[in-house]
Structure 1
Amino acid sequence: MKLILASKSPRRIELLTQAGYKFEIIPAQKDEKTAYKTPHRMVKDLALKKAFEVAAKYPASTVVGADTLVYCKGRVIGKPKDKADALKILHLLNNSWQTVYTGVAIVNINKKKLFTGYAATKCKARKLSDTELKLISGKHMDKAGAYAMQDKDDMLIERVEGSLTNVIGMPMELFNKMIKEFGF
């Protein structure tokens, strides 16, 4: 049985590789849109859409989809649109608690199997000056929240309560449990 990751995220690829998984990378191509409004439902729905998109082309394979967003002060925060948006996001997160949500979906069409789940991790951003925020803005345009916990030069997050791998992009504790229950 072949495992496919429906993502081109370098962080997800690295986390799964470090955990010893062998997989192909076939990223989903569709827009990331959902009708859901709550963070945990949004990420599960988007992860499922990504997994199904790829699984439709590879029905005998087990396909993993994932989606991450940040929730802070009542706002859902995805990837920044541009450097100005990244700076605006970082100002919002500055000196605040936020929750990072990652949805995971595992699909195998031929086996008629589908698992979804999500992880939520609380993070506290330290208080940074405008100059410090400008230094890191635009640096992580491909990441929800416009920051990278794993980047040693990224000084935004001072405290994590929960899964660090979730903040990086794939909650490995959840994924390992799900893939085992899936029978892979």
Structure 2
Amino acid sequence: MVEKVKLALVSSSPRRREILQMAGFNFRVVKVSVEEELHPSSYKTATLNAEKKVLAAKEQLLPGEVALAADTIVVLGDEILGKPKNSQEARLYLKRLSGRWHKVITGFSLLINGRVVTDYEESLVKFKRLTPSEIEWYISTGEPLDKAGAYGIQGKGALFIERIDGDFFTVMGLPVSRIYDILTVELE
């Protein structure tokens, strides 16, 4: 089924491209520029931003193409930890995540035959307790600076993950199994 879907990925994330390639999807990347919003609800933040992206791509779609956009956020307590602005903010995020559980929410939106389907998946992640030298080393790699919550589970940040309760791919940025299920139902 995946090879039959003409997919337009509305994302510049190399991780999302990697997930779709691994799953066997045929897709092309569509670039849009939207202003992401913070909403009081972390779930609304992720889903509304994904929906804004997918709707912004509407005019770029080819006939029969399905647009897919996603937004991944890291939530510690009630606070959304976005992409750190600099090394100091990355250091603060990593210190706060150290030894604690947090949520990773990936909102996604599909534009299928003119209809928008939006949902989210959530996983819980527990960081091991980090030493100051581990935090400094990780920041020195540059990896934390372009990742929500200041870490990437698919990179060097994997060294710090003690446990996951939920879908790994949700944490990586695209709950591909859930998206596949929706496409299967919607495109039958």
The two structures have a TM-score, normalised by structure 1, of: 0.91
- CA apart distance, 1:123: 0.4
CA distance in 1, matches of 2:34, 2:91: 27
- Cα offset, 1:144, TM superposition: 0.9
Which residue type is aligned with residue 138 of structure 2?
I
Does the residue aligned with 2:144 lie in a helix, a strand or coil?
coil
| Matched pairs, number | 181
Matches within 5 A, 1:65-104: 65-104=69-108
Q: Which residue of 2 is the match for residue 129 of structure 1?
A: 131
Q: Which runs of 5+ in 2 are unaligned?
A: none
**Partner deviation per Cα, 1:15-74 (whole Å, 9 max, x = no partner):** 01110000010122122124x211111111000001111113327431101000000022
Q: Which residue of 1 aligns with 2:53?
A: 50
> Which residue identity does 1:140 align to in structure 2?
P
Range with greater deviation from structure 2 (96-105 or 22-31) = 22-31
**Pairs within 5 Å for 1:30-179:** 30-34=34-38, 36-58=39-61, 60=63, 61-108=65-112, 111-137=113-139, 138-152=142-156, 154-179=158-183
- 1:152, distance to aligned residue in structure 2 (A): 4.6
Equivalent pair of 1:147/1:156 in contact (CA under 8 Å): no
RMSD, matched Cα: 1.7
Write out the 4+ residue segments of structure 1 that deviate beyond 4 Å after TM superposition: none
What's the % identity of the aligned pairs? Answer: 29
Give 3-state SS (helix, strand or coil) of 1:15's partner: helix
